[in-house]
Structure 1
């Protein structure tokens, strides 16, 4: 397994500082989110200061962009990073897609499947492997004059990953994607009993082995040699578990583990603005299911025990915050990366 960190929105200067720290410590790469800013400029900035890092989007929002636009950006990034870029795509939610981006959302699962295939058709056309002649359920493209074709490079086989949570989306990912961005709110029973069986089903439809699909797994890693040392990260992990868990589409994550009704309770607290109450509703038993907590020296074994044989890449969800505040943090994360590799 390789260890990346998750990178949120920030200035280019901050991105450069984090990229240098991550590279110098020996971590594998950075996964860039798309929330209040697009990931592309920060990703290029990281590549310019730390060219050995593996870089990816986790995830870029698909539907507001034409597949051609997304493919062209990904093609440029792959060429300029020497093939060290992989494209992570996701749907976002209806409200954001329709009311913030003013884009189409209906039938998000089939739409995303068609989007992935359309982006691949663009890659094939850019590489000169086939003319651009994609006629899908939602996307149709048939014009790419030579004068508008991006310059070819040596890394045309760009991996495309998708975010997936439910059974249908996980099966779809197994059918068409190179990898899955697993949701940060996940437990081992979810991976074993829901995600992997669905991925296996999708792979069977496509006639390929499950090993063709990489699991890219964000993890709430809470390290510290004493309880007091762990307290800040533990607080943040509880806040994030509570925030994600308040979404009713994820209620099954709690229900499957016997924490029935917790999602509805968190949603009620969220609507009341009681963020402290949300965090306090996440008990240590719940944290144990959704996070990895322990002394720094014990974290590698805990990660290997939980994810070895399942995940190709782990993504430390909270590492960026520690790099900003603790000068020893890069070395700690680097030690974990080497131990689990």
Structure 2
């Protein structure tokens, strides 16, 4: 039930070699999945291909790739290639980013992102079955008319696992309606899961007349490890503070009674005062949103965060570490978890 995020730090061919080495180490340690994201300067799919050629068993997921970053046709084509290359080990994790990212990075309308995601998945499912015949779709966001002029082989697996990202209610509900899994977020707490995520996921499942067992729930936990536990806590607090500055997480902070702290974090962020930002993050937020501990305590702390999830993706704090430091920290997590991974599983 455990996965690991691999970051694409560095530059040149060396970064792909290092990423595949970490993936191999994770596979050997007993992790069931590795996850790779993308940003404005890095794709998810190219590193996934490199990892697929270097590993044999481990599932390979995108967490996340931008759904609006490729057309449905190219998503289906790339997913088919990745499925063949990996021997059927791909989990396609898709998200939109914020409406501003959709508009400024991808040049698409940021309106109704959940509706757009639902339609994208619908079209992807149709294109996955292109071997059965032409695909015609006229929707709000996508117009697709593909009539093959040559034989199309069937995909490696009959159904491609597609998991979609969601933080706020409508995107969570979209996952319940159309996806095979919900890609959670590092800012999820147990309370947020119980009071918002599960009800909205159930509402989406009910609207689509599906079973809740059809949708896997993936958590994502930031793990900061150091022999000096206070230093580990500071690193985690810094990462939480970067998220807290965004309005996206207002609901979570309000739910926990941390809104005043969130305003202090925002003031510190505006002033560029990292020390004040770290100091403003409540101890309870550090304990509930991530893991900050010494190496020997990692397995027990991670196990507590895994409760209630079908799959837990472990990641180093995404802010505050240089690429080499993030890689070293990731290897440290692998070493700390190695003895606790027997019998873990992710359903692909």
Does the alignment reach a TM-score above 0.5?
yes
Q: CA deviation at 1:51?
A: 2.4
Give yes or no for contact 1:300–1:340 (8 Å, CA) kept in 2. no
Please give the alpha-carbon distance, in whole angstroms, between the structure 2 residues aligned to 1:331 and 1:264.
37
Aligned residues: 333
The residue that corresponds to 2:44 in the other structure is 39
Please give the alpha-carbon distance, in whole angstroms, between the structure 2 residues aligned to 1:138 and 1:176.
16
Q: CA deviation at 1:163?
A: 0.6
Determine whether 1:236 maps to 2:241: no
Q: CA deviation at 1:328?
A: 5.7
C-alpha RMSD over aligned residues: 2.3
Map 1:1-341 to 2 at 5 A. 2-10=1-9, 11-35=15-39, 36-125=41-130, 128-147=131-150, 150-223=152-225, 228=228, 230-294=229-293, 296-308=295-307, 310-318=308-316, 321=325, 324=328, 329-338=333-342
Q: CA deviation at 1:48?
A: 1.0
Give yes or no for contact 1:220–1:291 (8 Å, CA) kept in 2. yes
Q: CA deviation at 1:326?
A: 8.3
Bigger shift: 9-18 or 203-212?
9-18
Give yes or no for contact 1:181–1:217 (8 Å, CA) kept in 2. yes
Give yes or no for contact 2:36–2:63 (8 Å, CA) kept in 1. yes
Q: CA deviation at 1:238?
A: 1.2
Q: Structure 1 residues 107, 312: CA separation in 2 closer, same or farther (over 3 Å shift)?
A: same
Q: CA deviation at 1:322?
A: 6.3
Give yes or no for contact 1:323–1:330 (8 Å, CA) kept in 2. no
Relative to the length of structure 1, the TM-score reads: 0.90
Bigger shift: 111-120 or 267-276?
267-276
Please give the alpha-carbon distance, in whole angstroms, between the structure 2 residues aligned to 1:272 and 1:240.
17
Gapped regions of structure 1 (runs ≥ 5): none
SS in 1 for 2:70: coil
Please give the alpha-carbon distance, in whole angstroms, between the structure 2 residues aligned to 1:306 and 1:326.
18
Cα displacement string for residues 219-250 of structure 1 (whole angstroms, at most 9, x for unaligned residues): 123445x5x1x344333211111111111121
Bigger shift: 61-70 or 312-321?
312-321
Bigger shift: 235-244 or 297-306?
297-306
Please give the alpha-carbon distance, in whole angstroms, between the structure 2 residues aligned to 1:281 and 1:77.
43
Please give the alpha-carbon distance, in whole angstroms, between the structure 1 residues aligned to 2:336 and 2:326.
10
Relative to the length of structure 2, the TM-score reads: 0.88
Q: Structure 1 residues 111, 216: CA separation in 2 closer, same or farther (over 3 Å shift)?
A: same
SS in 1 for 2:165: strand
Please give the alpha-carbon distance, in whole angstroms, between the structure 2 residues aligned to 1:325 and 1:112.
33
Please give the alpha-carbon distance, in whole angstroms, between the structure 2 residues aligned to 1:151 and 1:59.
27
Q: CA deviation at 1:301?
A: 3.9
Q: Structure 1 residues 178, 294: CA separation in 2 closer, same or farther (over 3 Å shift)?
A: same
Please give the alpha-carbon distance, in whole angstroms, between the structure 2 residues aligned to 1:323 and 1:336.
21
Q: CA deviation at 1:82?
A: 1.4
SS in 2 for 1:8: coil
Q: Structure 1 residues 41, 277: CA separation in 2 closer, same or farther (over 3 Å shift)?
A: same
Q: CA deviation at 1:335?
A: 2.2
Q: Structure 1 residues 329, 249: CA separation in 2 closer, same or farther (over 3 Å shift)?
A: closer
Please give the alpha-carbon distance, in whole angstroms, between the structure 1 residues aligned to 2:337 and 2:158.
32
Bigger shift: 111-120 or 265-274?
265-274
Please give the alpha-carbon distance, in whole angstroms, between the structure 2 residues aligned to 1:234 and 1:146.
58
Bigger shift: 74-83 or 264-273?
264-273
